Amino acid sequence: MKSILKYALIFSTAFLIAGTIAYYSVRVFTQSADEIILPELTGKNIIYVLETLTSMGLNAKLHGTLYDDKIQKYSVISQDPKPGATIKKGRDVSIYISKGPKENTLPDLRQIPLKEALILLEKNEFKKGQVSFTYSSKTPINNIIEQYPGPFSTALKGSFCHLLVSRGANPPGMVMPNINGLRLEKAAAIIKDHHLNISKIISKKDLNQNYGIILSYTPKAGSHVTENSTITLVVNSPENNQIMDPDKLSRLILVTHSLGPGFLKRHIRVETDMFGPMIDLYNEYMKPGEDINILVPSGIHATINIFVDHRFERTIIIDPWKEENDTGELLWESLPLQFYQPILPGSVKN
């Protein structure tokens, strides 16, 4: 019995001594290990990071990958411990790797209206790029013909998508008619008959031509044009480089002059040069108190002289080159006129 106790005591003492020696050995080894200040790894390429940590005696532990709009693909997003921390050799450094900016799939925008396509682009986090137009017989007007990048391809969110939009079927071609030397109103009628559009009317002074005559235009006579092509006209006028609104060619102005009270009919004569040379527009008798109503195209320079009982009463001048004012388009050189909405031609009331 005493032998057993003796051996147990010896074994316990030996185990205690061995444990104490091991503890102090590990402690001494740990305290003697080199301490390292961890560098900044964020934004660095993974290959560089692995080489750096290995050379420092540290272990790189990859904890995952994440999308990041700022950090390039295969570069470190974050690290643990943080930069500047003190760490011993042989320890682990946890890192997350960037997968780069997130890419989205482009929707198929072909054959859908432009407005709807722009909504889909925004919904999928893309931006509108360059929008170009061309004629197409297969794609309805204002629908998308093609896109770049193409449908179902992947691209970085926030990138641009360029669109090609249809103008509809290609209109038939024609030869630009010769309108040189014609009065503006006649030239405008020819242009309208050919389904062309007047985009600009510019004045130019030419003393050798009558006012209101077409001096030049583009495209020139004989040029190839298509339906709805735009035409620029240069018209003879007392002043240079004035601009007339083309819409004036399709509008009418009703001007009126009231006769005074009385008992006898009065002789009324109205002359104008709106059709070229000065001619009588009206030459009849009217009852006292009635109105002289004259319907005048707003796009023609016109002088209107009114005579009552063979006596000059007033002059009205309509100048389409002058800008509109608060009272309307009509400009005058005598008493103020009354203005009404344009009516069907009835010329003069008698």
112 within domain boundaries: yes
Which is more confidently placed, 21 or 261? 261
- The residue segments making up the domain with residue 5 are 1-29
Q: How many CB atoms lie within 10 A of CB 248?
A: 19
Report whether 256 contacts 282 (CB < 8 A): no
- CATH number at 75 reads 3.30.10.20
Which among 143, 166, 189 is the end of a domain? Answer: 166
| 207 pLDDT above the threshold of 80 | yes
- Based on the structure, what is the number of domains in the chain? 5
Place of tokens 């750096």: 52
25 within domain boundaries: yes
Write the DSSP assignment of 293-345 as a string of letters: EEEEETTS-EEEEEEETTEEEEEEEE-TTSPPBTTBS---SSSPPEEE---S-
186 within domain boundaries: yes
CA distances from 209 to 183, 184, 204, 237, 321 (A): 11, 13, 11, 9, 18
Report whether 58 contacts 78 (CB < 8 A): no
State the alpha helices, DSSP H only, in 137-216: 184-193
- CATH number at 302 reads 2.60.40
Q: Are residues 60 and 6 in the same domain?
A: no
349 within domain boundaries: no
Which range (23-32, 263-272, 326-335) has the least confidence? 326-335
Closest CA to 157 of 267, 68, 71: 68
Q: What tokens were used for 350?
A: 């008698």
Q: What is the mean pLDDT of the chain?
A: 83
| 266 pLDDT above the threshold of 50 | yes
Which range (82-86, 206-210, 340-344) has the least confidence? 340-344
Q: Are residues 231 and 258 in the same domain?
A: no
What is this structure's pTM?
Answer: 0.47
Q: Which residues pair with 113 in a beta bridge?
A: 143
Q: Are residues 160 and 109 in the same domain?
A: yes
114 within domain boundaries: yes
**Residue 312 — very low, low, confident or very high, per pLDDT cuts 50/70/90?**
very high
Which among 166, 183, 201 is the end of a domain? Answer: 166
pLDDT tens readout for residues 102-126: 788 999 999 999 999 999 999 999 9
Which is more confidently placed, 23 or 275? 275
Q: Which residues pair with 314 in a beta bridge?
A: 306
pLDDT in the model for residue 2: 55
**Residue 242 — very low, low, confident or very high, per pLDDT cuts 50/70/90?**
very high
Closest CA to 303 of 335, 343, 331: 331
Q: Judging by DSSP bridges, how do beta strands 266-272 and 302-308 pair with one another?
A: antiparallel
Place of tokens 């630009």: 176
**Residue 21 — very low, low, confident or very high, per pLDDT cuts 50/70/90?**
low
Q: Are residues 183 and 222 in the same domain?
A: yes
348 within domain boundaries: no
DSSP-derived letter for residue 111 is T
Q: Are residues 224 and 156 in the same domain?
A: no
Q: Are residues 236 and 270 in the same domain?
A: no
Q: Which residues contact 17 (CB under 8 A, 6 or more apart)?
A: none
Type of residue at 219? P
